[in-house]
C-alpha cells in the first residue's frame, strides 16, 4: 500500500516534468511568435511552466494537454507583450536593429531587411488579424486549435488570416514600388 | 538583384517568410533550464509551507500558554479573595457555634484576633496568622453554599453586614424570649 502511494506521488510529481520534455519547444515557439525575442520567449516559457506547476495534481485530468498549454502560452505571451509595449512606448522595433548593411553579401542584407520589414508590418496589423496570422504560421497548431485559443470560429480564423496576408502583400508591393 | 519584382514573387516570398516566421528554435538546453526553475520553485513552495506550519504551531502554542496563564491567574485571584474574606471573619458567623455580638461593618479584621488570644495555639505560627475562628473546627475547604456566600460578601460587603446584624439581633431576641419563658416556668 505504502509503496503504491509513493509511486503514485512520484508519478504525480513527474507530470510537469513530462510536460516540459514534451512541449517546451512548442510553448517556446508560441511565445516567440508573439514576442519576437528569444530571451523574452524563454522567460515566457518559464512563466508558462510555473503556472502549470500551480495546477498540481489537476494536470493529470486535462484531456488535451497540448491545446491547454498553447492557450496558457498564448495568454502569457500576450500579457508580456502588453507589458513590454507599455514599458518601451515610443522606442523602435527590435527587428530594425538586425539590418546591418556592413555584414555579408547584398542579398543577405536585403533578405534581412525584408524580414525586418515583414516583422514590422505584422506588428502593425490590428490584433484581430495579427493573432490568427501569427498562430497559423506555427506548424504544430491546426486552425481548429487557433480558433479555440482565440475564442472565434474556424472560418473566422481562415478569413482573418487571408485578409492579413492580403494586407501584407499590398504593403510589401507598395514598399517595393516606392523603392524602384 | 531584387528578387521581388512582381506580385507573384512577393506572394511566394511572403509564403516562405511566414513559414520561417513560426520556426523559431530556442537555445539548446531549454528543457533543462525550465526543469531547474521548476525544481527551485517547488523547493521554495515546500519551504514556505514549512514556515507557515511552524508559524501556525507557534501561534497555537502561544494561545495555549495564554489560556493556561489566564486560568492560573484567575484561580489565584479567587484564592486571594477567599482568604481575605475568611480573614475578615464575615462568612464565619454562620458557622460559629456561639453567636457574636452585633458585628460592625467597619471592624478591622485584626480586632477579632486580638479579642480572643486564648483560642490561638502558640506552637503553630502559620495558624497564628489566621483568625482564631478558623482554628476550631479544623480548617476544611468551603462548601459550594459557603463559596457563594463568600463571593456575595466580597461583592456586597455592606449589605452582608446589615443582613448579619439583622440575624444577630433576631437571635438575641429569640434568646431573650426563651429566657423569659424559662423564668416564667420556674415561677409557676
Whether A146 has its CB under 8 Å from any CB of chain B: the answer is: no
Half-sphere exposure of B110 (CA within 13 A, CB side): 0
Q: At what angle do helices A38-55 and A65-87 cross, to 10 degrees?
A: 130
Q: Sort out which chain B residues have CB atoms less than 8 A from A46's CB and list them.
A: 33-34, 37
Q: Which of A20, A30, A82 is nearest to A51 (CA)?
A: A20
Q: Give the pLDDT confidence score for residue B63 in this predicted structure.
A: 94
Q: What is the pTM of this model?
A: 0.56
pLDDT level of residue A72 (50, 70, 90 thresholds): very high
Q: Give the pLDDT confidence score for residue A96 in this predicted structure.
A: 43
Alpha helix stretches (DSSP H) within chain B: 7-21, 30-88, 109-115, 125-129, 144-155, 157-187
Q: Give the pLDDT confidence score for residue A101 in this predicted structure.
A: 43
Nine-digit cell string for A126: 490590428
Contact B21, A34 (CB under 8 A): no
Q: Sort out which chain B residues have CB atoms less than 8 A from A137's CB and list them.
A: 18-19, 21-22
Domain positions in chain A: 1-93
Cα B53–Cα B59–Cα B63 angle in degrees, nearest 5? 145
Q: Give the pLDDT confidence score for residue B21 in this predicted structure.
A: 82
Domain A1-93, second-level architecture: Orthogonal Bundle (1.10)
pLDDT digits (tens, 9 = 90+) for B94-150: 455 555 555 555 555 555 555 555 555 555 555 555 555 555 666 677 888 888 888
pLDDT level of residue A98 (50, 70, 90 thresholds): very low
Cα A96–Cα B33–Cα A134 angle in degrees, nearest 5? 40
Please give the average per-residue pLDDT across A107-121, as a whole number: 79
Whether B36 has its CB under 8 Å from any CB of chain A: the answer is: no
Q: Which residue of B has its CA nearest to A46?
A: B34
Q: What CA–CA distance (Å, rounded) separates B171 from B166?
A: 9
Query: What's chain A's average pLDDT?
Result: 80
- State yes or no: ipTM above 0.85: no
From residue B43, alpha-carbon distances to A21, A44, A58, A60, B165 in Å are 20, 21, 20, 21, 78
- Select the more confidently predicted residue: B116 or A119: A119
pLDDT digits (tens, 9 = 90+) for A11-49: 556 667 888 888 999 999 999 988 888 999 999 999 999
Q: Give the pLDDT confidence score for residue A1 in this predicted structure.
A: 46
**Which residue has 519551504 as its cell numbers?**
B47
Amino acid at each position: 500500500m505504502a509503496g503504491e502511494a509513493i509511486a503514485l506521488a512520484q508519478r504525480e510529481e513527474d507530470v510537469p516534468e513530462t510536460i516540459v520534455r514534451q512541449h517546451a519547444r512548442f510553448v517556446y515557439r508560441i511565445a516567440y511568435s508573439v514576442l519576437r525575442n528569444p530571451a523574452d520567449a524563454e522567460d515566457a516559457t518559464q512563466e508558462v511552466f510555473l503556472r502549470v506547476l500551480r495546477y498540481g495534481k489537476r494536470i493529470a485530468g486535462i484531456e488535451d494537454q497540448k491545446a491547454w498549454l498553447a492557450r496558457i502560452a498564448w495568454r502569457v505571451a500576450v500579457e508580456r507583450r502588453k507589458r513590454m509595449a507599455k514599458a518601451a512606448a515610443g522606442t523602435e522595433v527590435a527587428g530594425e536593429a538586425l539590418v546591418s548593411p556592413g555584414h555579408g553579401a547584398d542579398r543577405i542584407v536585403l533578405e534581412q531587411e525584408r524580414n525586418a520589414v515583414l516583422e514590422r508590418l505584422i506588428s502593425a496589423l490590428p490584433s484581430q488579424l495579427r493573432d490568427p496570422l501569427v498562430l497559423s504560421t506555427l506548424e504544430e497548431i491546426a486552425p481548429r486549435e487557433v480558433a479555440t485559443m482565440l475564442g472565434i470560429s474556424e472560418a473566422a480564423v481562415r478569413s482573418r488570416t487571408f485578409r492579413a496576408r492580403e494586407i501584407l502583400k499590398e504593403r510589401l508591393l507598395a514598399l517595393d514600388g516606392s523603392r524602384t | 538583384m531584387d528578387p521581388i519584382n512582381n506580385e507573384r514573387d512577393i506572394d511566394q516570398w511572403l509564403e516562405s517568410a511566414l513559414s520561417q516566421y513560426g520556426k523559431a528554435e530556442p537555445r539548446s538546453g531549454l528543457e533543462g533550464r525550465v526543469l531547474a526553475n521548476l525544481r527551485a520553485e517547488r523547493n521554495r513552495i515546500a519551504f514556505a509551507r514549512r514556515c507557515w506550519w511552524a508559524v501556525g504551531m507557534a501561534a497555537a502554542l502561544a494561545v495555549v500558554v495564554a489560556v493556561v496563564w489566564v486560568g492560573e491567574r484567575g484561580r489565584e485571584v479567587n484564592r486571594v479573595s477567599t482568604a481575605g474574606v475568611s480573614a475578615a471573619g464575615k462568612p464565619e458567623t454562620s458557622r460559629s457555634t456561639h453567636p457574636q455580638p452585633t458585628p460592625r461593618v467597619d471592624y478591622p479584621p485584626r480586632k477579632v484576633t486580638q479579642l480572643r488570644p486564648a483560642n490561638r495555639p502558640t506552637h503553630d505560627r502559620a495558624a497564628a496568622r489566621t483568625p482564631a475562628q478558623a482554628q476550631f473546627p479544623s480548617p476544611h475547604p468551603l462548601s459550594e453554599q459557603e463559596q457563594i456566600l463568600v463571593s456575595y460578601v466580597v461583592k456586597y460587603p455592606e449589605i452582608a453586614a446589615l443582613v448579619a446584624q439583622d440575624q444577630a439581633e433576631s437571635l438575641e431576641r429569640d434568646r431573650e424570649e426563651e429566657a423569659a419563658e424559662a423564668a416564667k416556668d420556674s415561677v409557676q
